[in-house]
């Protein structure tokens, strides 16, 4: 383990303490600096779509779109 990392049990205790103070999922996610799952999925889909759009017109994956 490198410096600056904490053990999973320590992280669990910190998150558990935070959870006692925060009632809403949105507030909890903001405290941890996480994006909503729906936004992460949307970004992933757009990244994949952009990758497919760059492919050659003869590629079979591009014909599926």
User: What does the pLDDT read at residue 10?
Assistant: 66
For residue 16, what are the domain limits?
8-63
Decide if 40 is inside a domain.
yes
For 7-59, the pLDDT digits (tens) are 556 666 666 665 665 567 777 778 778 888 889 899 999 998 888 888 898 98
Full-model pTM: 0.47
**What is residue 35's DSSP assignment?**
P
Count structural domains, the chain.
Answer: 1
Q: How far apart, in Å, are the Cα atoms of 58 and each of 8, 12, 42, 45, 54?
A: 48, 50, 26, 22, 12
Decide if 55 is inside a domain.
yes
User: What does the pLDDT read at residue 1?
Assistant: 46
User: What does the pLDDT read at residue 42?
Assistant: 93
Upper half-sphere CA count for residue 31 (Cβ side, 13 Å): 15
Decide if 59 is inside a domain.
yes
């Amino acid at each position: 383990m490198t410096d600056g990392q904490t053990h999973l049990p320590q992280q669990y205790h910190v998150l558990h303490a935070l959870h006692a103070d925060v009632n809403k999922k949105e507030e909890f996610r903001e405290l941890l600096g996480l994006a909503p799952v729906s936004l992460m999925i949307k970004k992933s889909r757009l990244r994949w779509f952009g990758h497919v759009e760059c492919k050659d017109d003869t590629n079979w994956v591009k014909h599926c779109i």
